[in-house]
């Protein structure tokens, strides 16, 4: 405390000296701490290939993904349980209840809540083999730019949509893309190389595997129809598609949400009115 | 006199940096925070030296306790799920570092000015 009035010069000098020594000592320690911290951060970055914050984010993302998968499994399990409970009711059942149960189970199958099995086909959409070389050759032949030709040699989401549409038109009763069931609210879209079905990513890049239950011959014919989607878009010409008839195809159940946020069911009393208004408008 | 701490810092830094010592990745953020607390204490010591309020025991114990407490606070935050407690420590320490730096600059300028006034030929 050299500021105390009356402190001698010697005291001040001694305090000054001890200050310098202590700062020296602690500066050395600080240097050690900083170097250690710096080296550790370097190591983390070189190991993970990204700053520590990103690595933490990546870990969080993975955790969330795992949790999502877990709840998906739980939903599937619970739905199975519901189905079992409906099939084995505790009380006695009359003919009417049986009929209702039968209708419910049919509705479930139609809506896509149960896995289905039956004859059908498997359609694999893949990029054209040797696409790059082919694109150059075709570009020379036709005089079109290489990039444009190359695009038509690669599979896109619209090809998946087109093939699915043709299959439904040819009488397919149930369709799955990459093992994800297509239901009435299904959507197919591309985000980079990944195809999203019902807003969920399914596998990585092409090939995409479409499975359909229905008359195998009709389905294949419908796909290969001259002037049909595959023909018009040159998917068959450029070898982008492989079709295989199968005696038995398994289509998984739909696992997405089953509620409506906006749509409300029209009450039975009003339904007649709706039907008649559309009826009078038709002619 | 000023070269002594600088030299010590260089030696300590160089010795560890060149040998490439590291700590486990889980402890990295606590270590960084401890280093920041260390910077704060050193600057605080320099400032108190300028003010003439320097006290041995307060300085050394301050360095040890501040570094440990800063790391412990961040660890505690992680344990109870308040990771942002780390930010609280960074903000508090950062604020003090800047305050100390500005005060040191003022004292140093004032000292230079009085030295010039008392020695007009310079």
- B117 Cβ under 8 Å from any chain A Cβ: no
| Residue A212: predicted pLDDT | 94
pLDDT tens digits, residue range A195-252? 777 777 776 667 888 999 999 999 998 888 888 888 877 777 777 888 899 999 999 8
- Enumerate the residues of chain A whose CB falls inside 8 A of the CB of residue B11: 28, 31
Q: Which residues contact A203 (CB under 8 A, 6 or more apart)?
A: A178, A194, A195
Closest C-alpha among A89, A70, A118 to residue A255 = A70
Cβ within 8 Å, pair A30-B35: yes
Q: At what angle do helices B56-79 and B28-51 cross, to 10 degrees?
A: 150
| Residue A3: predicted pLDDT | 44
- Enumerate the residues of chain B whose CB falls inside 8 A of the CB of residue A32: 12-13, 15-16
Residues of chain A with pLDDT below 70 are 1-16, 48-53, 88-94, 192-193, 203-205, 272-283
**Cα A45 from Cα B99, distance rounded (Å):** 32
- A221 Cβ under 8 Å from any chain B Cβ: no
- Enumerate the residues of chain B whose CB falls inside 8 A of the CB of residue A20: 1, 4-5
A43 burial type by CB count under 10 A (0-12 exposed, 13-18 middle, 19+ buried): middle
| Residue A249: predicted pLDDT | 92
- With beta carbons less than 8 A apart as the criterion, state whether A224 and A123 touch: no
> Which of B2, B23, B25, B26 has the highest number of chain A CBs within 10 A, making it the mutation to test binding with A?
B25
Q: Which residues contact B104 (CB under 8 A, 6 or more apart)?
A: B43, B46, B47, B50
Asked if the model's pLDDT at residue B122 lies above 60, the reply is: no
| Residue A5: predicted pLDDT | 44
Of B8, B46, B67, the CB nearest to A28: B8
| Residue A42: predicted pLDDT | 80
Of B14, B20, B52, the CB nearest to A2: B52
| Residue A278: predicted pLDDT | 53
Count the Cβ atoms, other than its own, within 10 Å of residue A68.
11
Mean confidence (pLDDT) of chain B: 84
**Cα A77 from Cα A71, distance rounded (Å):** 10
Global pTM value? 0.48
| Residue A281: predicted pLDDT | 45
CB pairs under 8 A between A and B: 122
**Cα A267 from Cα A257, distance rounded (Å):** 23
Q: Which residues contact A200 (CB under 8 A, 6 or more apart)?
A: A180, A256
**Cα A248 from Cα A244, distance rounded (Å):** 11
Dmax over CA atoms of chain B, in Å, equals 64
pLDDT tens digits, residue range B2-29? 788 888 888 888 888 888 777 777 778 8
- Among positive and negative, which fits the CA dihedral A127, A128, A130, A133? negative
> Which of A13, A18, A34 has the highest number of chain B CBs within 10 A, making it the mutation to test binding with B?
A34
Asked if the model's pLDDT at residue B36 lies above 70, the reply is: yes
Please give the average per-residue pLDDT across B58-81, as a whole number.
Answer: 85
Q: Which residues contact A260 (CB under 8 A, 6 or more apart)?
A: none
Cβ within 8 Å, pair B35-A44: no
**Cα A202 from Cα A150, distance rounded (Å):** 24
| Residue A12: predicted pLDDT | 64
Give the ipTM: 0.76
| Residue A138: predicted pLDDT | 79
Q: Is the preceding peptide bond at A207 cis, omega within 30 degrees of 0?
A: yes
Distance from CA of B66 to the nearest CA of A (A): 12
A236 burial type by CB count under 10 A (0-12 exposed, 13-18 middle, 19+ buried): middle
Closest C-alpha among A184, A174, A180 to residue A195 = A180
Cβ within 8 Å, pair B9-A22: no
| Residue A283: predicted pLDDT | 41
Please give the average per-residue pLDDT across B84-88, as a whole number.
Answer: 84
| Residue A279: predicted pLDDT | 47
Q: Which residues contact A198 (CB under 8 A, 6 or more apart)?
A: A180, A182, A183, A185, A186, A187, A254, A256
Cα radius of gyration (chain B): 18
- A45 Cβ under 8 Å from any chain B Cβ: no
Count Cα atoms within 13 angstroms, Cβ side, for A152. 19
Cβ within 8 Å, pair B13-A23: no
- Enumerate the residues of chain A whose CB falls inside 8 A of the CB of residue B16: 31-32, 35-36, 39
């Amino acid at each position: 405390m050299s500021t105390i009035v009356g402190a001698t010069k010697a005291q001040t000098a001694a305090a000054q000296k001890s200050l310098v020594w202590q700062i020296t000592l602690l500066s050395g320690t600080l240097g050690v701490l900083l170097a250690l911290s710096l080296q550790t951060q370097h190591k983390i970055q070189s190991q993970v290939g990204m700053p520590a914050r990103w690595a933490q984010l990546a870990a969080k993302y993975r955790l969330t993904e795992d949790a999502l998968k877990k709840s998906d499994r739980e939903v599937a399990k619970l739905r199975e349980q519901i189905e079992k409970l409906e099939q084995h009711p505790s009380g006695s059942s009359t003919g009417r209840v049986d009929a209702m149960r039968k209708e419910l189970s049919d509705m479930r199958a139609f809506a896509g809540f149960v896995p289905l099995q039956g004859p059908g086909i498997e359609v694999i959409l893949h990029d054209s083999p040797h696409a790059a070389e082919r694109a150059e050759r075709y570009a020379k032949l036709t005089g079109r730019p290489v990039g444009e030709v190359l695009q038509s040699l690669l599979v896109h989401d619209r090809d998946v949509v087109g093939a699915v549409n043709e299959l439904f038109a040819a009488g397919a009763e149930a369709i799955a893309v990459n093992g994800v069931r297509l239901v009435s609210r299904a959507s197919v879209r591309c985000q980079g190389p990944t195809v999203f079905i019902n807003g969920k990513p399914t596998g990585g890049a092409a090939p995409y595997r479409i499975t359909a239950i229905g008359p195998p011959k009709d389905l294949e014919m419908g796909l290969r129809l001259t002037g049909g989607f595959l023909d018009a878009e040159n998917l068959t010409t450029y070898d982008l598609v492989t079709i295989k008839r199968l005696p038995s195809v398994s289509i998984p159940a739909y696992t997405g949400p089953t509620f409506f946020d906006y749509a409300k069911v029209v009450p039975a009393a009003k339904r007649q009115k709706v039907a008649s208004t559309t009826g009078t408008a038709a002619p | 006199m000023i070269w002594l701490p600088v030299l010590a810092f260089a030696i300590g830094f160089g010795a560890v940096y060149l040998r490439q010592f590291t700590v486990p990745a889980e402890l990295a953020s606590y270590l960084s925070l401890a280093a920041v607390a260390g910077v704060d204490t050193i600057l605080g010591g320099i400032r108190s030296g300028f003010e003439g309020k320097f006290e041995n025991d307060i300085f050394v114990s301050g360095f040890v306790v501040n570094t440990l407490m800063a790391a412990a606070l961040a660890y505690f935050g992680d344990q109870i799920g308040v990771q942002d407690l780390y930010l609280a420590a960074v903000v508090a320490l950062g604020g003090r570092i800047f305050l100390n730096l500005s005060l040191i600059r003022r004292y140093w300028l004032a000292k230079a000015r009085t030295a010039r006034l008392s020695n007009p030929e310079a």
